[in-house]
Amino acid sequence: DIVMTQTPLSLSVTPGQPASISCKSSQSLLHSDGKTYLYWYLQKPGQSPQLLIYEVSNRFSGVPDRFSGSGSGTDFTLKISRVEAEDVGVYYCMQSIQLPLALTFGGGTKVEIK
C-alpha cells in the first residue's frame, strides 16, 4: 500500500498567522491522465472529517480561500494563510491512486490555537 507521512504531528498557531502542513507519499500520486490524486481533510473536534482540497490544489465547495494546496509527485503541502479559531482540529492527507482500490490516509496533524 502507498504510505502517507505527515509532518508535523502538531502545530500551535497564533490567530492571524500562517500555518503549513507537509504530506509525503511513498509513491508518485501522478496518474497517466495528468491528474494527481491527493486530498486534504479537516476533522474538527467532535465532528466527522470534511473535504478541504481535492487533486492537490482545488478547494472543495464552501472552503475559504485562506486554505491552499500545492505540490507534485510525492511531496505536498497544505497552507492556511491566516489561521482562525475555527480552523482547529486534525488535518489528514489521503491518496486515491492505488489500484486495486485502496485508500490511505496520513497520520494526521493536530492544529491548535495559541
Partner 1 sequence: EVQLVESGGGLVQPGGSLRLSCAASGFTFSSYAMSWVRQAPGKGLEWVSTISGSGGSTYYADSVKGRFTFSRDNSKNTLYLQMNSLRAEDTAVYYCAKLGTWFGELSALDYWGQGTLVTVSS
User: 11, 63, 66, 107: which one contacts partner 1 (CB under 8 A)?
Assistant: 107
Other CB atoms closer than 10 Å to residue 3's CB: what's the count? 12
Of the candidates 32, 11, 20, the residue with the CA atom closest to the CA atom of residue 99? 32
Q: Minimum Å distance from CB 113 to partner 1?
A: 21
Percent helix, percent strand, percent coil in the chain, to nearest 5: 5, 50, 50
3 touches partner 1 by CB under 8 A: no
31 touches partner 1 by CB under 8 A: yes
Q: Minimum Å distance from CB 10 to partner 1?
A: 13
Residue number, 17 or 62, with CB nearest to partner 1? 62
Of the candidates 6, 36, 38, the residue with the CA atom closest to the CA atom of residue 21? 6
User: 37, 56, 67, 78: which one contacts partner 1 (CB under 8 A)?
Assistant: 37
Q: Minimum Å distance from CB 91 to partner 1?
A: 11
108 touches partner 1 by CB under 8 A: yes
92 touches partner 1 by CB under 8 A: yes
In whole angstroms, what is the distance from residue 9 CA to residue 36 CA? 24
CA-atom Rg of the chain in angstroms: 13
